[in-house]
Amino acid sequence: MITRKDVEHVALLGRLELSEEEIEVYTKQLGRILDYASVLNELDTENVPPMAHVLPLQNVFRQDAVGRHLDPEAVLSHAPDREDRFFRVPRLV
């Protein structure tokens, strides 16, 4: 069963700030969804390999050569805050 504390912990991991009301609603809704998901335990998957991907691709290589790339100015022009050729963020520590 998912608790209010779990929801607060997961919100922190997901970098979300939830309101009191959201915490309450998500505790209930996630609980219901995860309860429903527990039907998967009916299946014996002991010897079944997991499938992260449907295509039988292994490593996909390309030439290690400089190709076309985006103009740094075009990319930086979207930044909410910048300085020269850097993205600016609030203090980290």
* Chain positions contacting another protein, by CB under 8 A: 2, 6-7, 9-11, 13-18, 22, 26, 29-30, 32-34, 36-41, 43, 45, 48-55, 57, 60, 62, 70-71, 74-75, 77-81, 87, 89-92
Q: Are 30 and 7 in contact (CB under 8 A)?
A: yes
Residue 27 tokens read as: 């505790």
CB of 44 to another protein, least distance (A): 10
Q: Are 11 and 19 in contact (CB under 8 A)?
A: no
Helices (H) and strands (E) counted in the chain, each on its own, are: 3, 2
CB of 2 to another protein, least distance (A): 7
From the CA atom positions of the chain, what is the Rg in Å? 22
CB of 26 to another protein, least distance (A): 6
Whose tokens are 């014996």? That residue is 44
CB of 68 to another protein, least distance (A): 10
